[in-house]
Chains A and B, each alone.
Chain A
């Protein structure tokens, strides 16, 4: 029934009711007891007998689905039994008012994408019901339906119509779309000659000019360069604020979620665990994010962080100077691991991210050059210099790579640590910004524009450490 033109009349009358205040409580989206059951393991051959069995039991005998009984909580850290069923989403109840911008946050596998897929009608729920009013467009990726052989212009029409636009609607917005995408010069060139960035720009430009009442957005902003991301977020803010559209937004980028959304929900293992203001939702999420700061800054992994190439035994984070991990102490990271691959060129790479998932830096160390990696226990210690990281909670992504090209091991947010603040003079607050370098200043003071009376070297607020 989506995009059904006959409903426009009803929709308008709905809007009038809304304005009159009579239907203030009538939500634009109403989700009731929504659930989605998935079967783990390989789907394909061998399922015919299951299918027949299930069909026989449920349809003919009228019993409950024999394979859903073992449906368990979706915790992906537990090893899956073959053929086990799992609720990717369970008992979700949610109501959205018109113009609301809702952020959906949660770890990988928490059910965010499943929820968006159901709302986008890409897959159907196993239980429950969703009702919504108006036109709904989903942006699970940009540029869906782009064909490599077709030109930019043809693809604008292709993608636009797939998203539910009419041809004349696209024609009337073509100039705007082309303008926004910034690929005017290549409009009649096949898309296969485009750079990936250009394809993303074009795809997003089309999506940005859809005019649905409800917009469902997955992490499309994770692609494209910084300038484009900014533009995209700006456009989304514009859409939600000035046009009063209802937006559901999923992202791992807490900064983006925070700037876009007013309210948020947190999904954990398929259940909705929190609903409320976005800042509270983010706090809730971070408090519940398993590997958040550990008091001793020491993590042992057992076989939890292991694959065929690497087993990470432990990570220890300590200050380089002094006993407190603060802005001026520097950070020593000791990574103890067992290397299983020999005779390759191997590197260890880590990323430091802020609490809002902003990448501070990415750094790598080739510890085995010229294919001379050895099997065995290794310990690598990384020193992050003092006066670099501002006070914040940081998480770390850890990678091992081969020849700086192939990924051997990856673990996001393997650990987290807090860098404490050193107050600036009497100002106890944490200064804004991601880094807090030791900046030194000089001041030249002239009286009557003639002669230098004093030349003072002023130091960074952290005191004597950087005085020269």
Chain B
């Protein structure tokens, strides 16, 4: 008869996520989400308003640089809506990826002292990112509704709005998976830290955030379409604005990509968390 509930062995199941255990630690998850939200605006005057200042300023900048100066098409849509929608959904991916990519390095201190399911930290980052995303989405929707009711006919919302939650899950999933892999590799190979910031920046230009796929020259289109983030960006804009492209195949491609990447991410993450404290 074995009543032992703690069993520490050199190896453990790589793919097994102990959801029961994570559920037991849900209060900790909540505390981490709370921490990452409130610590951002402690000792600032504007506080949480910073969450909306950033996308609005960025939108303004893009309107000026890409809209006015470079004259990149927005598929005939109001520039502010086109850029803001792209930025809002992209920001969520950026947040998920960037924050989870620092899981090990930023929490080495805690990880070295206490055990809890390590996945709590990336999950908390994804959730706190979601809160920021909803704040930014609210701003977008306010501006969107204003255009809609002021009789702008270029905007054609459609039934794919129902797929918006799917897009959010895809962004969170891909961002989380990429972040898990990144954070695991950076524990040993710190070089990757340097790659991260501009890597995400480059990825943004390889994703139709500030331009529609329709403006991409035919011979490069294949690359843009191979990017699993492209269907999400296009679909998100299509749902709200009605311009762009939507296809189930592309969506399934993104979903499949996310699933595979998540599997890889979790395996690598588990592999790393076992002994990471010895190599950090």
Chain B interface, number of residues (Cβ within 8 angstroms): 43
From B3, B7, B20, B110, A162 is in contact (CB under 8 Å) with B110
Could you tell me the distance between the alpha carbons of A138 and B25 in the complex, rounded to whole angstroms? 16
- Flag whether A443 is at the interface (Cβ < 8 A): no
B3 touches A133 (CB 8 A): yes
Query: Which of B36-44, B75-83, B167-175 lines the interface with chain A?
Result: B36-44
A161 touches B24 (CB 8 A): no
Q: Given known contacts A145-B110, A150-B39, A164-B116, is B10 in contact with A124 (CB within 8 Å)?
A: yes
- Flag whether A307 is at the interface (Cβ < 8 A): no
Looking at the assembled complex, report how far the CB atom of A148 sits from the nearest CB atom of chain B, in whole angstroms.
9
For chain B, residues 99 to 128, give those with C-beta under 8 angstroms from any C-beta of chain A: 109-116
> Please, which residues of chain A bring their CB within 8 A of the CB of B194?
none
> Please, which residues of chain B bring their CB within 8 A of the CB of A44?
188-190, 279
A122 touches B112 (CB 8 A): yes
B5 touches A147 (CB 8 A): no
Looking at the assembled complex, report how far the CB atom of A340 sits from the nearest CB atom of chain B, in whole angstroms.
34
- Flag whether A285 is at the interface (Cβ < 8 A): no
From A122, A128, A134, A145, B10 is in contact (CB under 8 Å) with A128
> Please, which residues of chain B bring their CB within 8 A of the CB of A117?
112, 277
A30 touches B4 (CB 8 A): yes
B6 touches A149 (CB 8 A): no
From B3, B111, B114, A11 is in contact (CB under 8 Å) with B3
The residue in B10, B30, B42, B115 that gathers the most chain A C-beta atoms within 10 A of its C-beta is B115
B39 touches A149 (CB 8 A): yes
Q: Given known contacts A4-B21, A11-B3, A124-B275, is B9 in contact with A129 (CB within 8 Å)?
A: yes
> Please, which residues of chain B bring their CB within 8 A of the CB of A162?
28, 31, 110, 114, 116
- Flag whether A3 is at the interface (Cβ < 8 A): yes
- Flag whether A257 is at the interface (Cβ < 8 A): no
For chain B, residues 169 to 199, give those with C-beta under 8 angstroms from any C-beta of chain A: 188-191
Residue of A nearest to B115 (CB): A121
> Please, which residues of chain B bring their CB within 8 A of the CB of A154?
34-35, 38
Looking at the assembled complex, report how far the CB atom of B51 sits from the nearest CB atom of chain A, in whole angstroms.
17
B4 touches A133 (CB 8 A): yes
- Flag whether B18 is at the interface (Cβ < 8 A): yes
B277 touches A1 (CB 8 A): no
B10 touches A125 (CB 8 A): yes
Could you tell me the distance between the alpha carbons of A162 and B115 in the complex, rounded to whole angstroms? 8
Interface residues of B (CB under 8 A from A): 2-12, 18, 20-21, 24-25, 27-28, 30-31, 34-35, 38-39, 42-43, 109-116, 188-191, 274-275, 277-279
